Amino acid sequence: MPTAGPLKRMLSPLVNPQVFDFWASHLSPTLSWERPLAKVLARRVEARDTVTLELKPNRHVGGFAPGQHVSVTVSVDGVRLTRSYSPSWLGRGRMAVTVKKIPGGKVSGWLTEHCRVGDVLEIGPAFGDMTQPTLDRPWLLVAAGSGITPMMSLLRQAATQPPSLPPITLLYWARTRADLCFLRELDQLAGRLPSLTVHRILTRESALLPEEHGGRPDETLLRALVPDLGARQVYACGPAGFVAAVRALLAGQVAAFEAEAFSLPAASVLSGAPVQVTLGRSGRVLSVPAGAPLLAALEAAGERPAHGCRMGICNTCVCGKLAGTTEDLLGGGLSHEPVGAMKLCVSTALTDITLDL
């Protein structure tokens, strides 16, 4: 976040930020005392159920590295909701986020169907470790669905760098041709980056064009498209099941592997009696389904824990666990002991537990 100037530090004890923001918004919708806001300058359809929003951020919006995510907060039916998206800098003080509508998704539905030019979004600080790979090994970028957005941010950055980049291969999975994003820009990037090779792979298209491939990730397809697989440093992004399949296929087969999933693995809600979740600070005791993600279960019970990405990356929902057994949905195993930092969004309760909330 930008550092406050001397005048602001002097005035801070005298200013109520909410009152300031109320009156300042009459002058400019993104003028605020400290809130990071961005105005929608343009909106375009990117693919089926997918739009790109071009944004003008105010000075409180912090920087981000290509490949990272930011939290986007909007008001839907009077309720503030937050989800995470991968942004790109467009130059001239502008940024963009690309949003795919998720069935039942309140934020993605509002952003793709109701958000208009002139609307204002709240932008949280950047998070995520999947930033530019090193230049000493060839890259393999593996994307499915909305997982293409952080890869595009990385490729846009690569296009601004010297031509001595290592070989870069993008494997881009989508259901059908209509679901593919950034087709023209990918062609332009391939023209500007001699080291870039793009393969489009469709899983539900009845007839493929000569430059397209079909099928889901498997070793035969990966080795056919990337003969030097063992030399690659791999970044993968997509739904949890896709990322898990790619991780299993490439385990021990590549030089390095980093991945982020934009959805959670399917949780197995255990049969039988629900578990009791005790909130240590308030003393409230909740009954939640065993095996359900704790963040969602707490929200269903009327609690509003702090949260951001909802996929185990940003750490906004971290809290302490004082007692009980939990499981990490991202493969972290079981935890039977008290812990000081547990991510609610990717943790489930297998027994009665006590949280530091």
Q: Which two tokens stand for residue 254?
A: 């590549």
| Backbone angles phi and psi of 188, in degrees to 5 | -65, -40
Query: 332 vs 131, which has greater pLDDT?
Result: 131
Tell me the CB-side half-sphere exposure of residue 74, using CA atoms within 13 A: 22
Concatenating the DSSP letter of every residue in 22-63 gives HHHTTT-TT--SS--EEEEEEEEEEETTEEEEEEEE-TTS--
Last residue of a domain, which of 231, 261, 291?
261
Asked whether residue 219 falls in the same domain as residue 147, the answer is yes
Q: What is the pLDDT of residue 15?
A: 67
Asked whether residue 149 falls in the same domain as residue 84, the answer is no
| Backbone angles phi and psi of 54, in degrees to 5 | -90, 130
Burial class (CB in 10 A: 0-12, 13-18, 19+), 332: middle
Asked whether residue 122 falls in the same domain as residue 147, the answer is no
Last residue of a domain, which of 236, 261, 286?
261
Last residue of a domain, which of 69, 94, 127?
127
**Domain range enclosing 71:** 6-127
Q: What is the pLDDT of residue 269?
A: 64
- In single-letter form, the type of residue at position 268 comes to S
Q: Which two tokens stand for residue 315?
A: 């750490």
Contact (CB, 8 A) for 174 and 200? yes
Instruction: Give the single-character DSSP code of 243.
Output: H
Q: What is the pLDDT of residue 271?
A: 59
Going by C-alpha positions, the residue among 320, 294, 295, 324 that lies closest to residue 307 is 295
Asked whether residue 296 falls in the same domain as residue 250, the answer is no
Per-range mean pLDDT, top range of 88-92, 107-111, 333-337 = 107-111
Q: Does residue 269 fall inside a structural domain? A: no
Residue 82 has pLDDT above 60, yes or no: yes
Going by C-alpha positions, the residue among 103, 107, 157 that lies closest to residue 135 is 157
Q: What is the pLDDT of residue 134?
A: 87
Q: For the chain, how many structural domains are there in total?
A: 3
Asked whether residue 188 falls in the same domain as residue 229, the answer is yes
Instruction: State the CATH number of the domain containing residue 78.
Output: 2.40.30.10
Contact (CB, 8 A) for 216 and 241? no
281-296 confidence digits (pLDDT tens):
999 999 998 888 999 8
- Say what the pTM is: 0.82
Q: Does residue 143 fall inside a structural domain? A: yes
Asked whether residue 345 falls in the same domain as residue 292, the answer is yes
> Which sign does the torsion angle of CA 319, 325, 329, 332 carry?
positive
Q: Does residue 270 fall inside a structural domain? A: no
Q: Does residue 252 fall inside a structural domain? A: yes
Lowest mean pLDDT among 90-94, 199-203, 231-235: 90-94
Residue 3 has pLDDT above 60, yes or no: no
Q: Does residue 267 fall inside a structural domain? A: no
Q: What is the pLDDT of residue 330?
A: 81
pLDDT, mean of residues 265-284: 80
Going by C-alpha positions, the residue among 221, 220, 231 that lies closest to residue 200 is 221
Asked whether residue 121 falls in the same domain as residue 144, the answer is no
Tell me the CB-side half-sphere exposure of residue 169, using CA atoms within 13 A: 18
Asked whether residue 147 falls in the same domain as residue 198, the answer is yes
Q: What is the pLDDT of residue 19?
A: 77
193-214 confidence digits (pLDDT tens):
999 999 999 999 989 999 999 9
Sheet with 333-335, strands from edge to edge, namely 333-335, 326-328, 347-349
28-67 confidence digits (pLDDT tens):
888 888 899 999 999 999 999 999 999 999 999 999 999 9
Residue 247 has pLDDT above 60, yes or no: yes
- Mean pLDDT, all residues of the chain: 90
Residue 348 has pLDDT above 50, yes or no: yes
Residue 74 has pLDDT above 80, yes or no: yes
Q: What is the pLDDT of residue 222?
A: 96
* Residue in the block written with tokens 């027994």: 351
Residue 317 has pLDDT above 60, yes or no: yes
| Backbone angles phi and psi of 293, in degrees to 5 | -55, 130
Instruction: State the CATH number of the domain containing residue 349.
Output: 3.10.20.30
Q: Does residue 242 fall inside a structural domain? A: yes
> Which sign does the torsion angle of CA 345, 347, 353, 357 carry?
negative
Residue 1 has pLDDT above 60, yes or no: no
What are 138's strand-pairing partners? none
Q: Does residue 91 fall inside a structural domain? A: yes
Q: Does residue 134 fall inside a structural domain? A: no
Q: What is the pLDDT of residue 168?
A: 97
Asked whether residue 247 falls in the same domain as residue 161, the answer is yes
Q: What is the pLDDT of residue 5?
A: 65
Going by C-alpha positions, the residue among 346, 320, 322 that lies closest to residue 333 is 346
Asked whether residue 303 falls in the same domain as residue 254, the answer is no
Q: What is the pLDDT of residue 218?
A: 95
- Rounded Cα distance between 261 and 239, Å, is 5
* Residue in the block written with tokens 């440093």: 233
Q: What is the pLDDT of residue 10?
A: 64
Instruction: State the CATH number of the domain containing residue 223.
Output: 3.40.50.80
pLDDT, mean of residues 84-105: 92
Concatenating the DSSP letter of every residue in 60-91 gives TS----TT-EEEEEEEETTEEEEEEE-EEEEE
Asked whether residue 41 falls in the same domain as residue 113, the answer is yes
Concatenating the DSSP letter of every residue in 170-216 gives EEEEESSGGG---HHHHHHHHHH-TTEEEEEEESS-SS--TTEEES-
Q: What is the pLDDT of residue 357?
A: 93
Asked whether residue 144 falls in the same domain as residue 255, the answer is yes
pLDDT, mean of residues 247-255: 94
120-178 confidence digits (pLDDT tens):
999 999 998 889 888 899 999 999 999 999 999 999 999 988 777 899 999 999 999 99
Longest dimension (CA), the chain: 67
